Amino acid sequence: MKALTVNIPSEHATDAAKLRFVERLRGRVRRHNNATVATLKPDAAQKWHREWFVPRNAAITTEVLRLRPLVHGDWKAAKEGDLPPWAAAKDEIRGRADDHADIAGIDLDTAFAGTAAAKELLDPYEDLTTFTESDPNNRLSYTTTRVTFTSLQRGDDSYAYKDYTASHFGDYTHDCEINVSSFSAGTAWVGHWGVTNDPGSFGDCSNGQLLFSYRGSNPMEIDLYDRGASNQDVYKGASAGTSYYVRCARASTTCTAVIYSNSGYTTVVDTLSITGQSTTWRYAMCAFTRDSSGTATASGYTQNFDFHEAAGYIAYPYPRGLHGGASVMSGGMQ
């Protein structure tokens, strides 16, 4: 795959003019990137960042590193402790990108040639194929981001979990999307998410916070439950065949599950809140059964588990030497 390169207009004939153009293009790219990611939720911002910004920033960096020695000389020959020769002129060279006609009129989508070889960042979603399952009746199936349950019986002893090492989950914010396409009858039941030190079916799990849905006196209910404290809160107005986007969180002993109707997590349907254990947890679960008598079944899926550990911030790494010889990592937008 061919990496992107910068298209420098022919009117920038000298190396100094080319460098001035590329430095200002860098500013324009950053501004456009920052304006875009500010409108996106973290997973979409990560995708945009790696697919749009990263390859363009790499192309610009390649040109800057090529042109600076041609314009300013070989800095390697300078005395130790000297600032690079371009440091004093940095502001004048780069300027404010949007103030320059030679940049402001350029279409950023045509300012580069080649195919973007995007540098992959961490995917925000948990890889469910790395979870360990116990599913003797083969009711569960997986893709990287989705677990599908098919005719999962209330009485099955099935679950899937991952070991994140001891005390990994303290206070947390975990997102997932749940969609139960059908319940066969009353008492049908399926577990969607949980953190615990004792992974297993609901009947076997002795501690932790759990999220599950079932068909009780209402067509579908969504329940946040603390297994150790035996506290729960229930949303009784859910409907089978509808996607719900649930953000489970804990702050000390306050556990919540905010249920949204949209993937942007902005339209609240209900907020569940309980007092729970403040223990730190080792395991996360992406599916589990009630493991109680009964053959009522549930079918559907749970997907896109975002534990907000991979997409905490967007970092901009600068190659050594671009800013006075230091590498800069920033949690804010540049």
Position 112 scores a pLDDT of 87
The C-alpha atoms of residue 226 and residue 94 are separated, in whole angstroms, by 56
Residue with tokens 């979990």: 161
284 vs 98, which has greater pLDDT?
A: 284
Position 84 scores a pLDDT of 54
pTM: predicted TM-score of the whole model, two decimal places = 0.62
251 within 8 A of 266, measured Cβ to Cβ: no
The C-alpha atoms of residue 284 and residue 191 are separated, in whole angstroms, by 12
Q: In order of start, what are the domains of the chain with their CATH numbers?
A: 5-113 (no CATH), 128-306 (2.60.120.200)
Q: What is the pLDDT of residues 15-56, one digit of tens each?
A: 988 988 888 888 888 888 888 888 877 777 888 888 888 888
The answer, yes or no, to whether residue 323 has pLDDT greater than 60, is: no
4 within 8 A of 114, measured Cβ to Cβ: yes
54-72 and 15-37 helices, crossing angle to 10° = 150
- Closest C-alpha among 86, 300, 109, 63 to residue 189: 300
Position 101 scores a pLDDT of 57
Position 104 scores a pLDDT of 62
Position 75 scores a pLDDT of 52
Position 317 scores a pLDDT of 35
| Averaged pLDDT score across all residues of the chain | 83
The C-alpha atoms of residue 320 and residue 75 are separated, in whole angstroms, by 13
245 within 8 A of 252, measured Cβ to Cβ: no
